[in-house]
Structure 1
């Protein structure tokens, strides 16, 4: 009972802390005349990825490296398959051309880089440093590119920007920022400790707990942001938040965790062989889906959700050594994946002919 309360309390604190951090950071950034586009795709994305950062840092310092890796990989898979899937079921999502040209290719490149770095069974400090430097370069590039943004883009992110008219407003936003960071620290500690105890009690690996329970919990801010944005008809926030968060998860969360970790972050063979390739595949599939009419349609969102359910089932069954894993793997490899790829290829070809 106490373990369950620890996990629930940790999730609540992470969500509340992430929201406070987003609001405080976005308002302060706006006060310093930082572009609304940069705020939307960097500050807001970082704020919604802050739970992942808190959990991964805490996990690495407590010797639970598998939780740190599983959290990042699982969160990136969830962000696309579950969050974008559910958000597009609420309403079809429009994708900006800039996102397709710049941010999605960067997400694919970052995913491939993480796979290569993890291929030897660990991510060392210098590799984390490279990822974090890439994050700084991405932010700098976004700041420069934002000077060309249109009024339409500025209006998309106006909910995240506020003019601070007095010192009292500045102090309040600073309090939100500091309070959000504090809640993230406490919440991540409770969640990691609770999830680790559950893993030990059930005989499930820490990697699986990181890929499922922890990843879903830390992805709640992205879920709330994207679904609400979709419901309110805000054109790009739902997709931009997911792509930006995936970039931050790899470049900041994984990179910074590897830099400050007292020892290299271990990567389980199952993650190298299955979970990280799934993360890469999910990033790659975004390109044809987004490029077909600059839209994520409801049927595509439904496929995303189905894929996430299938991925979770396979992950849990594999962890338990179930005899069903063989037939399921064969069905997925020989049936579901080829049919899906053919469907997306046909959709992309039809979209090009229309243009």
Structure 2
């Protein structure tokens, strides 16, 4: 994005440049909101037209769109030899999606449970988290060092194809939203077009927002390490967050749940798989004592929330997840500050 919009040059241009950066922040927030609205409305209309669950659409089509920033950033980082960043982006996004976004969603509203989907896609989500850890441990036995090899990357992409195929099969077996009536009935092609436009606006607006905010933060004297540990890491999960808020605002919370589950699965199968296929990903030691344990902790809590009684998730589940996410961000920052100059 820096090649298209010279954020750093604008920050150095004095008051006019700062004013323009602030204007870009305001505009990007507006377009982010509107793009997320179009994405969610298109997904709800598509579910209605095809006679499938909104949660399934969220777990497949919507999550494919919202994880595109993670995929692009991680593959590029892998090709450039920044394996820790590539894998960290994928694992960090799982922690952000499940800890921050699901946690925030629980606090804001009562999120619905669809056990047919949660006991299928939800177990795949949990299994994907275990799989990436097992791969790293097996690599130590086979290669003598923790690494996600290219062969493992291809294997993950094969599993991705299988996941998409079985999702389509499950969607034909389950139709809890058949009684849903929408005020406007769009054709499937128009639904897909609106979703494509919406996710494109969300992704581009998120990049503009993060780029502009980053430069203003640096201009205000905030250390670069703080900026990179917060804004940049948070940026790739911004599409999921805005989609979640739009889902709640427009009365389609099922899309929020589906998007979180689907995004977690795709961060392992698609983001990590594509990155490892492009270039083998060595796993830094910190993943085994920080990132992987925190990822499994939030996935276990999410699984426990699914298994509790009731047709909705209790709002109390959001508090520990938000606490874990905030603690994780603080610990990550302190580790960077301690070990990096």
What TM-score does the superposition give when structure 1 sets the normalisation length? 0.70
The structural deviation recorded for 1:273 is: 2.2
Q: 1:213 to 1:114 in 2, by over 3 A?
A: farther
- Is 1:218 aligned to 2:236, yes or no? yes
Q: 303, 309, 312: which one pairs with 2:320?
A: 303
The structural deviation recorded for 1:116 is: 2.1
1:153 is aligned to 177
- For 1:293 and 1:113, locate their aligned partners in 2 and report how far apart those are by CA, in whole Å: 28
Q: 1:190 to 1:95 in 2, by over 3 A?
A: closer
Contact 1:129/1:255 (8 A) holds in 2: yes
Which string of whole-angstrom CA distances, capped at 9 and with x for unpartnered residues, describes residues 189-222 of structure 1?
9979x98xx8xx96859xx94x743341111121
- For 2:181 and 2:62, locate their aligned partners in 1 and report how far apart those are by CA, in whole Å: 10
Contact 2:149/2:281 (8 A) holds in 1: yes
Q: 1:115 to 1:212 in 2, by over 3 A?
A: farther
The structural deviation recorded for 1:102 is: 0.9
- For 2:72 and 2:94, locate their aligned partners in 1 and report how far apart those are by CA, in whole Å: 16
Backbone CA RMSD of aligned residues: 4.3
2:263 is aligned to 245
- For 1:118 and 1:17, locate their aligned partners in 2 and report how far apart those are by CA, in whole Å: 40
Contact 1:115/1:277 (8 A) holds in 2: no
Matches within 5 A, 1:68-147: 68-119=86-137, 120-147=145-172
1:352 is aligned to none
Q: 46, 53, 59: which one pairs with 1:41?
A: 59
The structural deviation recorded for 1:247 is: 0.6
The structural deviation recorded for 1:99 is: 3.1
Contact 2:157/2:273 (8 A) holds in 1: yes
- SS of the aligned residue for 2:123 comes to helix
State how many pairs are aligned. 309
Contact 2:59/2:259 (8 A) holds in 1: yes
1:55 is aligned to 73
- For 1:256 and 1:176, locate their aligned partners in 2 and report how far apart those are by CA, in whole Å: 23
Q: 1:29 to 1:237 in 2, by over 3 A?
A: closer
Which string of whole-angstrom CA distances, capped at 9 and with x for unpartnered residues, describes residues 138-172 of structure 1?
1111111111222x3356797998305xxxx76x9
Contact 1:226/1:237 (8 A) holds in 2: yes
Specify every segment of 5 or more residues in structure 2 that has no aligned partner in the other structure, as ranges.
1-5, 12-20, 138-144
Contact 2:98/2:321 (8 A) holds in 1: yes
- For 2:76 and 2:290, locate their aligned partners in 1 and report how far apart those are by CA, in whole Å: 25
- For 1:40 and 1:189, locate their aligned partners in 2 and report how far apart those are by CA, in whole Å: 25
Which string of whole-angstrom CA distances, capped at 9 and with x for unpartnered residues, describes residues 268-317 of structure 1?
11122210221122112211112212432222212211221111111111
Contact 2:58/2:257 (8 A) holds in 1: no
1:162 is aligned to 186
- SS of the aligned residue for 2:68 comes to helix
Matches within 5 A, 1:332-343: none
